Structure 1
Amino acid sequence: MKTEVFTATVVGIGEDAQMLMDDGMMILFNETAPKDLYDISFVHNAEGLNEDLEAGDELIIDGEVFSLTFVGGKANETLRDLGHATFQFNGETNSDLPGTVCIEAKPLPAIQVGSTIVFRKK
C-alpha cells in the first residue's frame, strides 16, 4: 500500500493562479501566504510534509494521478516549513530552480476551492 505523506484541501485560489496553471505551472502555498504570493497561489490547509518527496512519487489532484519526475533540492524544505512548492507539469528531470517539483506533462484537472491535493510515496 502506498503511503500518503501530504494531504491538503484547497481553501483559496489567487486571482492569477489559473493563468499560471494554463501555462503548466502551479504554485502551492499554505494559509500564511503573503498577499503578493496569495494572488498567484492555490492556497491549502495542510499541516506540512510527513516524508521527503522524490522522483517517482505521486501527486494526486482530485483523484487524478501524476508522477513526479524531479524534486528540487529545496522543495521538500519549503513544502514542509511553508506549505509552499512550485510545480511544473513539463515532465522534465531537472530544473535550475531548487524549489521546483517537475511533474509528468498531461492535461490538468480544474482545481477549485474544496479540491484535494495529495502526495504519496511510490
Structure 2
Amino acid sequence: MEKLNATISELGNEWEMMKSENMVILFNEDSPQELRDISVVHDGAVSEIVEAGDVMELGDESYDILFVGGKANETLRELGHATFQFNGQSDSDLPGTICLEKKEIPSLEIGQKVIIKSN
C-alpha cells in the first residue's frame, strides 16, 4: 500500500549540501520560502502512518525505513515535511526524523517520484 506518492516540484539551491550530509528534507508546496533552499519540495500528501519496515523510493533507488520519530507523521501530514537521514540508524533524538538504511542518495530531478509504501 502506498502511503505517500509525490512528485518533486522544486529542488532548493542548497539541497545538494544536505545530500552530502546524507539527508533529504522534504516539504510540500506550502512550505515557507526560507526553508525551500535546503528542501526537496513535493506535491504529495501522506495517506497512512509511516512506520519502520516501510520502504521509500527515490528515483530508481529503494531504501528501508529503520526508524520514524515521534513527530514525523504529524509533520508529514501537516506540512509534507520530514528530515530523512540515510544513516543506517534505528533511533534519533530528533522527533521529526526518519532514518533509513545507509545507501547513497541518487541525483534528484523535478518530476521524479517520491514514494513511501508498506513493505
- Shorter-chain TM range is over 0.9
- Aligned pair 1:30/2:28, yes or no? yes
Partner Cα separation in structure 2 for residue 80 and residue 121 of structure 1: 17
1:43-54 aligned within 5 A? 43-46=41-44, 48-54=45-51
Corresponding residue number in structure 2 for 1:60: 57
Q: What residue identity is the alignment partner of 1:118? A: I
- Aligned pair 1:115/2:76, yes or no? no
1:1-122 aligned within 5 A? 3-46=1-44, 48-122=45-119
* RMSD of aligned alpha carbons: 0.7
Partner Cα separation in structure 2 for residue 76 and residue 30 of structure 1: 14
SS at match of 1:10: strand
SS at match of 1:101: strand
Partner Cα separation in structure 1 for residue 118 and residue 54 of structure 2: 5
SS at match of 2:18: helix
Partner Cα separation in structure 2 for residue 60 and residue 25 of structure 1: 14
Partner Cα separation in structure 2 for residue 6 and residue 63 of structure 1: 16
Shift of 1:40: 0.6
Question: Percent identity, aligned pairs only?
Answer: 47
Partner Cα separation in structure 1 for residue 96 and residue 118 of structure 2: 19
TM value normalised by structure 1? 0.95
Q: Which string of whole-angstrom CA distances, capped at 9 and with x for unpartnered residues, describes residues 9-44 of structure 1?
A: 000011111111111011000001111101110000
Shift of 1:63: 3.0
Partner Cα separation in structure 2 for residue 63 and residue 112 of structure 1: 12
Q: What residue identity is the alignment partner of 2:63? A: F
